[in-house]
Amino acid sequence: MTARPLRADFLPLWHRAPVKALTDHELREVSRVTLADYESRADSFWRGTRHHDVSQNIDALLANLPGVPPHDILDLGCGPGRDLAALRELGHAPIGLDGCESFVATAREQSGCEVWVQDLLALDLPEQRFDGVFANATLFHVPRQEIERVLAELRACLRPGGVLFSSNPRGSNQEGFYGDRFACYHDFDGWRARALAAGFEEIDHYYRPPGKPRAEQPWLASLWRNPAATGV
C-alpha cells in the first residue's frame, strides 16, 4: 500500500509549521508512514550509507563522556548498524535502537550488539542506564510538538553527567512530510531552546561537513550534558 500524507494542510510546506497540533492518531501515522518508507528502502539505504564517515561525530561524543571507558552508549536510530559496529570496535558497550525492523535485523548481524525495536515517539528506556546517547541523523523525525518530551526521556536514560550527541539537517524550523518521511529542520537557536527546556546543559555545537562554507554545511551537530545530581 502506498503511504499518503496525513492531510492536505500537513504537506511538506517548508515555509511554515503545521496549522494545528497533531492528534495522537496523527502522531502514530507520522511514525508508521516514515518507518514504512525506511522498510521499503532498507537494502538500498544500507548500501548507500554504510561507508559514510561520521567519525567526527563519534569522536565528539566520546571526548565529552564522563568517567573511564568502556562506556555504555545508546545508538538511537542506529539504522543498519554502521555506527553501532564502530562503537563496539572502539571497545565500548553500545546498544542500538531503531523502529525499522529490517534495520534492527541487519544491525544485530553487522555489529553483534543488542538492538531494541522501539518507536522514537514511544520510547521505553531504563533510567540512568547510559553514559552517552548517540543520535546521529535521527531526532529530526520527531515532530516539533513532541521533541521536548523525547529529549527529556533521553536525559532520564543518561547517568548524571552523561552526554547526548545529536546531528540533524538544519533549517528554519520547518516541518512536514518530504515524500513519505516526516522531517523537522531546526536552526540552532530553536534546537538549543528545546534541549535546555528538557533539562540539558549545553556543551558545544558545530556544522558539517567540516571545512566547507556554511551554505555547504547542511548538518547541525550538538552536544548536551545531563547535569550531575546535586544534594543528598
**Which segments within the chain are labelled E, that is strand?**
72-76, 93-98, 115-117, 130-136, 158-169, 174-178, 181-185, 201-208, 219-225
**How far is the C-alpha of 219 from the C-alpha of 232, rounded, in Å?**
40
Share of the chain above pLDDT 70, in %: 90
Instruction: Kindly report the backbone phi and psi dihedral angles of residue 201, in degrees, each rounded to the nearest multiple of 5, phi listed first.
Output: -105, 140
pLDDT tens per residue, range 1-12: 333 334 334 444
Mention every residue, 6+ apart, whose C-beta is less than 8 A from residue 58.
Answer: 83, 86, 87, 90, 134
- Using only C-alpha atoms, what is the Rg of the chain? 17
- For 207-224, what is the mean pLDDT? 95
Confidence of residue 229 (pLDDT cuts 50, 70, 90): low
What is the DSSP secondary-structure string of 131-181? EEEEEES-GGGS-HHHHHHHHHHHHHHEEEEEEEEEEEEB-SSEEEEETTE
d(CA 48, CA 42): 10
pTM listed for this prediction: 0.90
User: How large is the greatest C-alpha to C-alpha distance in the chain, in angstroms?
Assistant: 56
Q: Distance between CA atoms of 177 and 8, rounded to whole angstroms?
A: 11
Give φ, ψ of 79 to 5 degrees.
60, -145
As a whole-number percent, the residues of the chain with pLDDT over 90 amount to 83
- Kindly report the CATH class assigned to 19-225: alpha beta
